[in-house]
Amino acid sequence: MQAFLYIEITAETTYRKPLPEQVKQELPEVAVLDIDVQSDELLQHYALRLLRESDKAVACIKSDETAPGLGKAMPLLEELFQEKEGRLILLLGEHPRLLRMFQARPQVNFRQVAEQDALKEVKRFLL
């Protein structure tokens, strides 16, 4: 199974998220889940399960410097810090703390990309 997980860690979350919609449209065979720092524990549990059970997964983290903190996203981030074959983490936006956390883990397949390039990276990795 292939998966795409979109995690929004921003001060203001939006209901409409273009990137997950584009992934659903262009890669219909990929399981897509989007969450934010306000998501409840059940949704967080599904996100962890999706990451652990997929053969190939892309986790895309949209963040900005004004985000109040990592809060409820920490269990997911801890899972993403683990080295796992077939996993790519994309960071969209500027979040110095997250960037340092990922850069300190060279075993993790991680890239910081511009939002307009994210779909191309997802397709390149999953196809």
Map out the domains of the chain with their CATH numbers: 2-126 (3.40.50.10140)
pLDDT at 72 over 80: no
Please classify residue 83 by burial: count the beta carbons closer than 10 Å to its beta carbon, then call 0-12 exposed, 13-18 middle and 19+ buried.
Answer: exposed
Tokens linked to 49: 């399960």
- The mean pLDDT value of the chain amounts to 91
Q: What is the pTM assigned to this prediction?
A: 0.93
Count other C-beta atoms under 10 Å from residue 56's C-beta: 16
d(CA 66, CA 82): 26
Q: Which of 67, 73, 85, 88 lies closest to 39 in space, CA to CA?
A: 73
d(CA 87, CA 39): 22
- Alpha helices (H) in 3-72, listed in sequence order: 18-26, 41-53
Question: Could you tell me if 35 and 44 are in contact, meaning their C-beta atoms sit under 8 angstroms apart?
Answer: yes
To the nearest whole percent, how much of the chain has pLDDT over 90?
Answer: 69
The tens digit of pLDDT for each residue in 5-17 reads: 999 988 776 678 8
Residue 57, strand partner residues? 3, 87
The tens digit of pLDDT for each residue in 92-115 reads: 988 888 899 999 999 999 999 999
